[in-house]
Each structure stands twice: as C-alpha cells, then as structure tokens.
Chains A and B, each alone.
Chain A
Amino acid sequence: MFVQLTLWRRELAAYFLSPMAYVAAIFFLLITGFNFYLVVGIFSSYEYTIPDVMEQLLSSPLFFWPTFLLIVPVLTMRTFAEEKNSGTIETLMTAPVTERAVVLAKFSAALAMFLCMWLPTAAYPFLVETFSEEVAPLDIWPVISGYLGILLLGMFYLSVGVLCSALTGSQVVAAIATYAVTGILFFGGLVHTHVAADLIREISLYISSFEHQQRFVRGIIDSRPIVFYASGTVLMLFSTIRFLEGRRG
C-alpha cells in the first residue's frame, strides 16, 4: 500500500514536472471555455434551460467528444512508452514492486489528472444559473450524473490508453493507437443509426459511448453502461498487467 502510494505520487509528479501537462491543461480549458461561450451564445437567442446547455457541453458530438477523445491519448501516451524509451522501465521493474502496483499507479495518476482537468468545467452550470435570466432553479442531479458518465467513460478510455502505451516503446505510436482504438469505439457506437441489421444495431447501441453519455447527462443512471465501463476498465488493466508479467516470464 505504501509502495503503491509512492508510485502514484511519482506518476502524478511526473505530470506536473513536465511542461506537457500544463500545455494540455491550458488548451483543454481554452477549448472547453470557448465551447461554453459558443453554446451559451447560440442558446441565448432561443428559449433554453440549464440542462440544455449542459447536455451540449457534456455530450454533444461537437462540443464534448472531440475534446474528450483528444485528451485521453495526451494523458496516457507517456505512461509506459516514456519509461520504455528512456530505459527507466528497467530500474522500475527490477525494484521489488509488482506489475499490478505499477499499472494501477499509472492508471490512477492519469485518472486523477483527467478529473483535475474536468473539475473547472463543473463551474459552468453555476455560472449560467447566476448570470442568466432563466427562472427555473438549477437541478444538480443531471449535472452530477453527467460527471459520473465522464468518470466512467474516462476510466475505460484511459485504461485503453495505458494498454496501448504498454504495448509500444514510442509515445507517438501509443498516442495514435489510443486515438484510433477509442475513435473506433466511439464511432462504432454511432453505426446503429445507419445500419439495418439487427445484431450490429444491438451491439453498436450497447457499446455506444455517445448514447451512454447522453443518457447520463439527462440524469438517467442505467446499470448497463456502468457494468460495461467498469468491466472494460478491469479487462484493459488486467491485459496490461498480464502483458508486463509476460515479459518477466
């Protein structure tokens, strides 16, 4: 447990000691901030409610998904690829630490960083409530479930990124692979709108992150996506651990 904490602290420190995390965080906030400005601007000419704004910000294919899909590889690409590239993986794995501890530390540090980035955006609904003339008071629950969705999706997508990073020695390859895999997952979930075949429709609908997140933002907490993302995360992390253990024999 103590070793786990040490590893986690080091991983988190690695984000803050490199300029990359700051650059990523600044761009992230710029983009989400600009999206917020756009959404509020568009809605101001219509009748709108706060949930409408949040639905756009936390699930729209234009204002939410591009940022979400881009931020994941940025956070995970370095986790293993950097250590492999610089050789520090050798000092790390010859210390008396288990693969599980290392993988969990890297994953949870990436998740912590991911949540830190999303945290400021939680101010948006309150900003709208304070400065808009809409009379209906803010309903906090859809906002919370929307962020629960981000947490679950983030866990799964980040775990995919960690696995990709463990499989390659290059950060660029890791980032591209993560982007490709998560992109396929996301777009695979959109196939059901165009395909008539029942089986493909069913599968596509089941894995559709877009649909899941939209339901979360509307305050619908379904157990199926929770199980899907939790088990998906476990599977990805377990695969990463097994892959690393396989190298040791």
Chain B
Amino acid sequence: MDIIDVKNLTKRYPGRTAVSDISFRVAQGEIVGFLGPNGAGKTTTMRILAGFLPATGGDVKIGGRDVSRHSLEVRRHIGYLPESCPLYPEMRVSEYLRYRACLKGLPRRRRKERVPKVLEMCGLLDVKRRVIGHLSKGYRQRVGLADALVHDPDLLILDEPTIGLDPNQIREIRNLIRDLSGRHTILLSTHILPEVEATCERVLILHQGKIVASDTPENLAGIVSGSIRVVTEIKGLQSEIVETLSALPGVNNVSDRLEGAWVKLEVSGKLGTDLRQNIFQTVVDNKWTLRELRTISTTLEDVFGALTTGDKGGRS
C-alpha cells in the first residue's frame, strides 16, 4: 500500500512557483531520499505533507487520507522534523518530550513507555535533565528526532536531519535512520549526496519545483553516465599509447596527459564492456609498464550535477 500519494501537487507563492505539478508515491516501509539544491522545493513539499502549509493545487494523501481535509487525523500518524529543528530552549529534554507526547495524545501509560524509549534510541539518556538551550547542535538535532519518533508514527518526514552535524554525528543519525527503516516509512531530504547513497532505497531528485528523476541510487547512476570510464597510467611513448588504445574495440574516446615519465589516460567506452582486460593485454603486448588501472563509477554526485545544472535545469 502507498503511504504517500501525491498527485499534481503545486504550490505557488506570490510571484514564485515553489513546487510545480509534481506527483510521486511512497510505499509502506520505503526509505526515500528527497534530493535537490537549495530552493528546489524540498522543504515546501515536506511542509505540505506534514500539514503545515496548504497546497495551491493537487491532491496529497497520506495513508489514504487527504492531508487538508483530514489534517488532524493525518498529523497523528506523522513524525515531522522541520528544517533547522526548532525547539523550546528553556525546557529540559525529557520535559520537552513528555510535553510533545502529551500533545500528540499519548495516554499516560504509553508516555511512560515511549519517552524513555526514544531517549535511549536517540542517545539522549545522558542529557535528559539538561536545558535544551544549553545543548550542542548535535544533541538538539537528536531531541528533534526523538520528538518526531515519540508517538511511534507510521511515517517519518525528516527535513535535513543531518544538517550542521559533524561526521561522527552524521554517521550516528544515519545508523539510527537505518535502524528505523523496518517499521517506519521514511521520507528524508538532504543535499548531502553520500547520505542518500548510504541510507535511501529510492531517490527523488527535485529541481526548480519539479521531479527530474526518481529511481534507486544505482539505476540513476546508470541512466546518466551511458558510458564506462577507465583511468590508467602507462609508461611508454605517448603518441603510440594513445593511438593503440584508441584502436581497441569498444573505446570511444581517449584523453591523455603527461605526468613525468608516465602518461595518464582516461579511456571511455561503451557501457557493458570491461576495457581493463584489453588495456592490460595491450600493455603487456607492447612491453609498456603499467602502474594504475581502474574504472570510475558514476556517483550520485554526477547524476545530481547532470540533472540539476545541465540542459534539463534551464537556469544553471
């Protein structure tokens, strides 16, 4: 069953269209990454999903219920962590989580069980009596996450959950998100690419208010590259090497650069062929010396760059 069903969602602000006619679905249990440059419409879309902003047009259903018509009921099933993670600085951590659990309508017994649980899950046991305003950014982010989790929602909407954190904290949050993946559906936004590759099963790339790609990180990489690239360093006569390698079957293009006695080459070929074996054989046959031979895989970073700055984007 689809837990999120967005059809032709449009959001216009005076003089600006933030989200234009996007449609997507997220199935129960999926972890979906929302990717896009700043101002692509990620936050706007998430705010609409969370019931904070009204849509200008289109249908947004969560768990089969319309977000604007059954707002209260929908909000009961969503855990939402807004961008920049706003909290009440004067409250204490556990006090804040108890308050939030009350607001979300958890009965006393559930509160007694859930609050310590999320404190533990998010690694907040050490700071539970501290005043939120005195916590570091990393801890505050965890308090926000604990708040989103406290009522054990079906759907988690996390807007930039790792922004402003150091690499260790990012890894912790990432692990936490992965641990949650079994029981919760997660929609998270970020512009940190390795994060999506590490945590998400599916990526939606948003650019200028439109979805420009939606697929698994691996498939997306294939779509964009369309070719395979091999980097190699060979010692020998430069012109001869270039000429020989260019003649190899499956090779489209060879670019070369001299680095001391070594010729550094980037060979690109048709997708699906492995050029490395042929290159190695050629080197052996010509009695050249080889010190590097590897393929460059297309990363999500390339995909992202290609989709959000190239022709598809318009403004770059």
Contacting pair B147 A249 (CB below 8 A)? no
Q: Which of A94-102, A110-118, A217-225, A234-242 contacts B (4 or more CB under 8 A)?
A: A94-102
Q: Are B54 and A18 in contact (CB under 8 A)?
A: no
Contacts of B147 in A (CB 8 A): 91
Any A CB within 8 A of the CB of B121: no
Contact B86 A248 (CB under 8 A): no
Nearest CB on B from A246, distance (A): 8
Whether B52 pairs with A98 at a CB distance below 8 angstroms is: no
Answer yes or no: A133 CB below 8 A from chain B CBs. no
Is there an interface contact between B50 and A2, defined as CB atoms closer than 8 Å?
no
**Cβ B99 vs Cβ A17 within 8 A:** no
Interchain CA distance A10-B51 in the complex, whole Å: 22
Q: How far is it, in angstroms, between the C-alpha of A96 and the C-alpha of B78 when the chains are bound? A: 9
The answer, yes or no, to whether A87 is at the interface (CB within 8 Å) is yes
Compute how far the CA of A90 lies from the CA of B53 in the bound complex, rounded to whole angstroms: 10
A88 in contact with B86 (CB, 8 Å)? yes
| Total inter-chain residue pairs, C-beta < 8 Å | 71
Q: How far is the CA of A2 from the CA of B51 in the complex (A)?
A: 22
Residues of B85-123 whose CB lies within 8 A of A: 86-91, 99-100, 102-105
**Cβ A88 vs Cβ B102 within 8 A:** no
Q: How far is the CB of A170 from chain B (nearest CB, A)?
A: 16
Q: Does B68 contact A (CB under 8 A)?
A: yes
Interface SS of A by simple majority: helix
What is the CB-to-nearest-CB distance from B162 to chain A, in angstroms, rounded to a whole number?
18
**Interface status of A3 (Cβ within 8 A of chain B):** yes
Interface residue range, chain A: 20 to 34
B55 within 8 A of A: yes
Asked whether, in the complex, the Cβ of A10 is within 8 Å of the Cβ of B75, the reply is: no
Across the interface, B68 reaches (CB within 8 A) one of A86, A96, A248, namely A248
A94 and B88 in contact, given A3-B103, A248-B71 (Cβ under 8 angstroms): no
Q: Measured between alpha carbons, how far is A7 from B87 in the docked complex, in Å?
A: 15
In the assembled complex, how far is the CB of residue A84 from the closest CB belonging to chain B, in whole angstroms?
Answer: 10
Nearest-CB distance from B230 to chain A (Å)?
A: 49
Asked whether, in the complex, the Cβ of A90 is within 8 Å of the Cβ of B47, the reply is yes
B295 close to A (CB within 8 Å): no
Asked if residues A96 and B72 are in contact (CB atoms below 8 Å), the reply is yes
Whole-angstrom distance between the Cβ of B94 and the nearest chain A Cβ:
14
Question: Which residues of A have CB within 8 Å of B100?
Answer: 91, 95
The reply to whether A10 and B87 form a contact with Cβ atoms under 8 Å apart is: no
Please, which residues of chain B bring their CB within 8 A of the CB of A89?
86
A148 at the interface (CB under 8 A from B): no
Residue among A14, A89, A96, A248 facing the most chain B CB atoms (10 A cut-off): A96
B270 at interface (Cβ–Cβ under 8 A)? Answer: no
Name the distance in Å between B100's Cβ and chain A's nearest Cβ: 7
Interface residues of B in 122-180 (CB under 8 A from A): 147
- For A93, the closest partner residue in chain B by CB is B52
- Give chain B nearest CB distance to A249 CB in angstroms: 2
A185 to chain B, nearest CB (A): 32
The 8 Å CB contact of A91, one of B53, B54, B80, B105, is B80
- For the complex, give the distance between the alpha carbons of A95 and B100 in Å: 8
A96 lies within 8 A of B75 (CB): yes
Interface centre among B51, B54, B90, B103 (most CB of A within 10 A): B103
**Is the C-beta of B252 less than 8 angstroms from some C-beta in chain A?**
no
29 pairs of residues in contact across A and B, judged by CB atoms under 8 Å: A2-B105, A3-B102, A3-B105, A6-B102, A6-B103, A7-B103, A10-B99, A13-B91, A18-B90, A86-B86, A86-B89, A87-B82, A88-B88, A90-B47, A90-B52, A90-B86, A91-B80, A91-B86, A91-B147, A92-B103, A93-B51, A94-B52, A95-B100, A95-B104, A96-B72, A96-B103, A96-B105, A248-B52, A248-B53
User: Footprint of B on A, CB under 8 Å?
Assistant: 2-3, 6-7, 10, 13-14, 17-18, 86-98, 247-249
